[in-house]
Structure 1
Amino acid sequence: MGEGTPQCGLNRIRRSAPLSDRAVSGLQSRRFLLLYALAAAGGSASYAPFLTLLLPVRAGVIWQGDALQVLAYAAFAGACAASAANILFGWISDRSSRRKEWIVAGALLSSVLLVGMQYITSIAGLLVMIVLWQTAVNMMLAPLGAWAGDCVPDSQKGTLGGLLSAAPAVGAMVGAVVTIPGLAGADTRLVMVAVIVLGLVLPVVFFGNPAPMPELMKPKKELRVEVVTGPGTTGRKARGSAVGRMWFARLLIQIAEAALFAFLLLWLRSIDEGITDNDTARLFTTVLVISVPIAVYVGRWSDRAGRPILPLAVLSGGGAVGLVWMAMADSAAMAVSGFAVFGVLTGVFLSLHSSQTLRVLPRPQTRGRDLGVFNLTNTVPSLIMPWLALALVPVFGFQALFLLLAALAVMSCILLATMRET
């Protein structure tokens, strides 16, 4: 490969190694897929338990009445740092023709910084540490995401997306484990998370040994997903439209996801005051766990049927149905079931979308950078969502918010349904 084209995890001294049967057949090894999914789960565990559980608890203990404001500042600073760092280190891993070295560096540095959070006692110190930690986390996540594009062929991207659905569930379970009452103190929990992350991420680097996929390192001359735009559309314009539609479709769903993540407990309590934070946590975890086998089945079906986009359109439309269901809810049972529909379907959507995004990106030489731009769909909603909620909920109630989010999900469905699969 030329400069700026990452190898598929192969060290230079191993170029002459014999190809496996799967490499000859054009498929990536099952071992790499499973270890990669494990590493993706480690990526989720690297930030989810800290941001959702450990940081709020520490902020409440140290800053007490000012905890909410501190968390808001930390969330904003962290989102900005994560957005910039993901693009930066995706681009650096493209230019350096290295993925694994950056993954290891990011995993080690983010773990050290996470453990170092225990020594922070000032708001300014916390914000600086959050920015550094988010930068290190994305030093790991950006090349990790691009590495899948280097190594997993289109015929297995649905399967990969199904496996990736386990990542959020694992992140949630790690948070549940380290916060078991009496298991560990606040500082020890940080160490536990850091050790777990390293144990999940590093095996794919040292033992994944992916088969080389040189065809994945060539710019695509033809897209397997084209936008239905009528006669006379050039291949370049169709390709650009496909990338843009995939980006906006994910952004719209992520806005809805971010709103539900932030306000689910408040909404449920507005319907039934007896619902506790533990009930909400168990509901989140249950939805994530249920999503995994569904995503695996749908992902494998999309590979066999050669229909990578159809499931995404159906799932986003189903998410809109769940949101309308939630808007109509007048009992706890109806509210929970509506959220379950929305949460499961959009959880499957996000997992499959992550892998199918690799299909439409046309330039392997800028794959890491381009995925960094797609990562903005994960961070930008946290900046948009609070303003939507503040504008609608106090005046019109949660029903209006959910109906607006349902409209966004319908728009996502339309963007994807009007793409032709070839």
Structure 2
Amino acid sequence: MISEESGEERQPLWFLVALAFAAAGGAVAYVPFLTVLLPLKVNELAASENIEALSYITFAGAIFASLANIGFGWVSDRWGGRRSWIALGLVLSCLLLIVMGEARSVSGLIVLVIAWQLALNMMLAPLIAWAGDCVPDRQKGLLGGLFALAPALGALAGTLVTFPGLAVGAERLWLVSGLVALLVAPALVLGGGRQMEELMRPVEGPVPSELGSFKSRPAIVRMWSARLLVQIAEAALFAFLLFWLRTLSPDIGENSVANLFSLVLCVAVPIALFAGRWSDKARRPMLPLALCASLSALGLITMSLAQNVQTAIAGYTFFGLASMTFLSLHNGQALRVLPRPQNRGRDMGFFNLTNTVPSLIIPWMTLAMVPKFGFSGLFLVLAGLVALAAILLAQMSYRR
């Protein structure tokens, strides 16, 4: 069932697309819920203390999501049958999402959100590890490019479920659950038996300590650190873009910023696909990552120097396209550097911490920088962090 090209085993394109849509199912599950539906539910239950309640719920959910991603990745390593874990997580997370609409207290909602985060990561952690079991290194660039569909579809799902007249109240939770199931099911139903023996063969012995291969300890540290640095910048812009743009143009609206986010996410998809496919053909998996990190730093520098909203939007668009391409491609190439296939799920869980740790760093960094140095100072610091990510990957970018 595995196609042959130039004497090398490869997965067919339809299966890579199915994996990408399954990963996008996770984004469709949490983006509309965490950004729109959960705040609305919290406001319904605790209108006078909605900000405090939402903060507690979001913080608890992020902590349990991080632990669950590592835990269920490890569980799928030890007991195998990743598709079974994915299916169970899919069913439980969709059911819990629907039940969320029946919550009658903030404490009950917190319990449900924690349970939902556990179930969602029961699906997502084995899913990414399963991609590592199936997709060879020579296709990981294309896989990473396809992963760019996840944030784009997540944003579009948020627009869809809030479309006037389409669904209201608890109906929106049913709609999200249905979309998630539609995206994840094809990979589960059609993806049986696609693991590659060469990708699942256990590796024993110490991990190399010299930067001589992609599976060395320094390579793992560089990849993890580079993603964390770029994610810090990405999280800062996600949280404070509207506030910054309003310092340049007080009349700019929330809808304009939301449209800018969506545009960047959608345009990044073909760019990531091209870059990922090129990296596979050229056998330079890390070069696009280093280049995208460098371009992200230039975008941040442009933003720090912006004196009008047009230059600011141009700078953010440049940064957003480069950083989203980086993060998508990184998702695929991170699977390349993990040295032990028998621990792939657990190890990808530790890589997933780079998605949650920035939310704990950004508020304090912003409070320390913006009052004294303004947003320009913050963007220069972020540019330095992203430039460091580019430097970390530069030495790896010329190896094939």
TM-score surpassing 0.5? yes
Equivalence for 2:399: 421
Equivalence for 1:340: 317
- Aligned counterparts of 2:43 and 2:242: Cα–Cα separation in 1: 18
Instruction: Identify the match of residue 389 of structure 1 among 366, 373, 376.
Output: 366
Q: Shift of residue 291 of structure 1?
A: 0.1
Question: Does residue 1:120 correspond to 2:106, yes or no?
Answer: no
Q: Shift of residue 332 of structure 1?
A: 1.2
Give per-residue Cα distances to partners, 1:95-143, cap 9 Å, x unaligned. 0111100101111101111111112232222221111111111000000
- Aligned counterparts of 1:204 and 1:28: Cα–Cα separation in 2: 13
Question: Does residue 1:239 correspond to 2:216, yes or no?
Answer: yes
Question: Does residue 1:322 correspond to 2:305, yes or no?
Answer: no
Equivalence for 1:62: 45
Equivalence for 1:89: 72
Matches within 5 A, 1:123-272: 123-209=106-192, 211-219=194-202, 233=210, 239-272=216-249
Aligned residues: 397
- Aligned counterparts of 2:160 and 2:13: Cα–Cα separation in 1: 28
What amino acid is aligned across from residue 300 of structure 2 in structure 1?
L
Q: Shift of residue 23 of structure 1?
A: 11
Q: Shift of residue 250 of structure 1?
A: 0.2
User: What RMSD, in angstroms, separates the aligned Cα atoms of the two structures?
Assistant: 2.0
Check the 8 A contact 1:165/1:348 in 2, yes or no. Answer: yes
Higher alpha-carbon deviation: 18-27 or 312-321: 18-27
Q: Shift of residue 72 of structure 1?
A: 1.3
- Aligned counterparts of 1:293 and 1:237: Cα–Cα separation in 2: 26
- Aligned counterparts of 2:329 and 2:306: Cα–Cα separation in 1: 29
Equivalence for 2:262: 285
SS in 1 for 2:46: helix
Check the 8 A contact 2:248/2:309 in 1, yes or no. Answer: yes
Give per-residue Cα distances to partners, 1:22-69, cap 9 Å, x unaligned. 697311122211111111111110111101111122223332232221
Task: Call closer, same or farther: CA 1:43–1:23 in 2, change over 3 Å.
Answer: farther
Higher alpha-carbon deviation: 115-124 or 60-69: 60-69
What amino acid is aligned across from residue 114 of structure 2 in structure 1?
V
Check the 8 A contact 2:72/2:345 in 1, yes or no. Answer: yes
Q: Shift of residue 340 of structure 1?
A: 0.4
SS in 2 for 1:421: coil
Matches within 5 A, 1:337-416: 337-416=314-393
SS in 1 for 2:216: helix
Equivalence for 2:284: 307
Give 5+ residue unaligned stretches, structure 1.
Answer: 1-17, 228-232
SS in 2 for 1:26: strand
> TM-score with structure 1 length normalisation?
0.90
Task: Call closer, same or farther: CA 1:357–1:234 in 2, change over 3 Å.
Answer: closer
What amino acid is aligned across from residue 356 of structure 2 in structure 1?
T
Higher alpha-carbon deviation: 184-193 or 390-399: 390-399
Q: Shift of residue 394 of structure 1?
A: 2.2
What amino acid is aligned across from residue 61 of structure 1 in structure 2?
E
- Aligned counterparts of 1:38 and 1:131: Cα–Cα separation in 2: 25
What amino acid is aligned across from residue 275 of structure 2 in structure 1?
V
- Aligned counterparts of 1:195 and 1:271: Cα–Cα separation in 2: 41
Give per-residue Cα distances to partners, 1:251-302, cap 9 Å, x unaligned. 0000111111111111111111111111111000000001000000000000
Give per-residue Cα distances to partners, 1:340-389, cap 9 Å, x unaligned. 01111000000000100011101000000000000000011111111111
Check the 8 A contact 1:173/1:285 in 2, yes or no. Answer: yes
What is the aligned-residue identity percentage? 52
- Aligned counterparts of 2:236 and 2:306: Cα–Cα separation in 1: 17
